[in-house]
Amino acid sequence: MLFVKKELLSALSAVLEKLLPGAGAKAQFESPKMAAHGDLATTVAMQLAKPLKTNPRQLAENLRNDLMETEAFSAWVDGIDIAGPGFINIRLKSTAKQQVVREVLAAGAGFGHQPPTGQRMLVEFVSANPTGPLHVGHGRQAALGDAICNLSASQGWDVYREFYYNDAGVQIATLANSTQLRAKGLKPGDPSWPAAAYNGDYIADIAADFLARKTVRSDDREMTANGDIEDLDAIRQFAVAYLRHEQDLDLKAFAVRFDNYYLESSLYTDGRVDATVRKLRESGKTYEQDGALWLRSTEYGDDKDRVMRKGDGSYTYFVPDVAYHIAKWERGFTRVVNIQGTDHHGTIARVRAGLQAANLGIPAGYPDYVLHTMVRVMRGGVEVKISKRTGSYVTLRDLIEWTSKDAVRFFLLSRKPDTEYVFDVDLAVTQNNENPVYYVQYAHARICSVLAIWGGDVHTLERVALDVLQSQPALNLMLELAKFPAMLTEAAKDFAPHDVTFYLRDLAACYHSYYDAERILVDDEPVRLARLALVAATAQVLRNGLAVLGVSAPQKM
């Protein structure tokens, strides 16, 4: 049905261009709010009525006549209705709707995907400092980041996945000190235990492995402990490697991968922070006041100017952020997306201000941000606040162990990132229609069962006659399949993987309704093959959508 829409759109554009030069660019279709109104709709009559100095309703009537005389509308359109002040509602012929089945079966896993654009895109996500296991909030970010990468890749972007973390600084110093104290036999609650120390049991595990001189490996480093409890730097390096290893295990359990791990410390050792400060000073966008160096960020929309270098000579945290994003730009990433918690909202204006002040030709909206809220976890009707690992929060691996990787991903992606979300563990393990991931996966498994009973080669279904697919449930299902490519494009543009979860639930509901309405494996061979082609196409689109979310499509349940 994609080529049908293209033909109709081309015809609409040509008709509009004849009416008013340049008006062809306004040709577009949308889905009517109510299925009874038709299959496609356009509001061009109301848009062009004023420049054409005519009544929009009358213009719509004239357009209907002109459109139905075109070859494309004559071939694919059953009728056009005019509603209200000039809405044009289009009803497609069954043959038009049936084309989507062939398109899906022919494209397979590529259905809905766009060809490569040649443009590079970097998505930075998770970026957790190695001071503890990944918690549920990190899990939401991991699910979002991975799905946004998949969505963008489906639209032709060359996507690069990056994890940025601080391997030095105050938090890491606290980690090293806490581990050293544990190695010396101290523990939380002791009189000499610092208030700022990390209290989780995992600190004791790190200390024990350090004393045992163990070796730990992560995706970006390896460290063998020397066991010397007085060597604080060795303890720091071992603790960072240990927790990076733990985080890698979390990410592997969640099936999330990265192309690169970028260290904040490298921005200093490579001279990028100093170079960035020099660029900003040379641009004339800084000034000295009260012994500090300030950025004139108000010139770029910030609510106040920001301190770059404090009186003690140290840089504030947004300075390395600016240096890091200059590095992203210089590495050739024309689009950058940062996925962070809502507590980072205040950094957006100052980072963008720093990038503009550097005068490097970086676009004003660079980088894009997707901010997410934290997640509450309910189990047994009560909120879970205790983790056996940390003593303070639910880890990502806790949630995966209690439910499954698929459930965690689907659930964490089922709401807009900036909305509060309550993860219901009991619902996530329920095997009924109330569980959205089960509902969608069961639709796929149900189709696979039908195809297995049939036992034929699915590829042969690309060539079967589809004219018998005339029932309303079948037509509804085909229309739902046809929505997938446009939905993917919009979801990618808006960084909205939750739209994919909504679509999959609608598609699953459409399939279940069709399955309940019509037998598929009937004796009449042409009917049987046509219906098998339809459900095979449905299974393919379910797989494609679940793949974007990083969720499996089981053949049996």
User: Which string of DSSP letters, residue by residue, matches 368-418?
Assistant: EEEEE--EEEEETTEE----TTTSSS-BHHHHHHHS-HHHHHHHHTSS-TT
What are the boundaries of each domain within the chain? Answer: 2-92, 125-263+373-425, 270-337+350-359, 433-549
State the Cα–Cα distance between residues 264 and 378, nearest whole angstrom: 35
Question: How do residues 398-453 score in pLDDT, each as one tens digit?
Answer: 999 999 999 999 999 999 999 999 999 999 999 999 999 999 999 999 999 999 99
Across 159-167, average pLDDT: 94
Q: Which CATH number fits domain 125-263+373-425: 3.20.20.70, 3.40.800.10, 3.40.47.10, 3.40.50.620?
A: 3.40.50.620
Taking each helix axis from N to C end, the angle separating 405-412 and 436-454, rounded to the nearest 10 degrees, works out to 120
Q: Which class does domain 433-549 fall in?
A: mainly alpha
* Residue-level pLDDT at 386: 55
CA R_g for the chain: 29
* Predicted confidence band of residue 389 (pLDDT cuts 50, 70, 90): very low
Closest CA to 515 of 470, 554, 467, 477: 477
Nearest to 177 by CA among 119, 131, 245: 131
Q: What is the pLDDT of residue 392?
A: 59
What does the pLDDT look like over 530-541, one tens digit per residue? 999 999 999 999
Alpha helices, H only, 212-312? 232-253, 264-269, 272-282
CA angle 432, 438, 442 (to 5 degrees): 95
Give residue-wise pLDDT tens across range 287-297. Answer: 999 999 999 99
**Residue 245 contacts by C-beta under 8 Å, 6 or more apart in sequence?**
216, 217, 218
Mean pLDDT estimate for the chain? 94
pLDDT at 133 exceeding the cut of 90: no
Instruction: Say what angle helices 472-482 and 525-549 make with each other, to 10 degrees.
Output: 30
Assign domain 2-92 one CATH number from 3.40.228.10, 3.40.50.20, 3.30.1360.70, 3.40.50.800.
3.30.1360.70
Percent of the chain predicted with pLDDT > 90: 89
Tens digits of residue pLDDT in 248-275: 999 999 999 999 999 999 999 999 999 9
**348-353 long-range Cβ contacts below 8 angstroms, 24+ apart:** 349/297, 349/300, 349/301, 349/302, 349/303, 350/295, 350/297, 350/302, 350/306, 350/318, 351/318, 351/321, 351/322, 351/325, 352/300, 352/301, 353/295, 353/297, 353/299, 353/300, 353/301, 353/302, 353/306
Specify whether the CB–CB gap between 66 and 447 falls below 8 A.
no
- Is residue 7 over pLDDT 60? yes
Instruction: Give per-residue pLDDT as tens, 198-214.
Output: 988 899 999 999 999 99
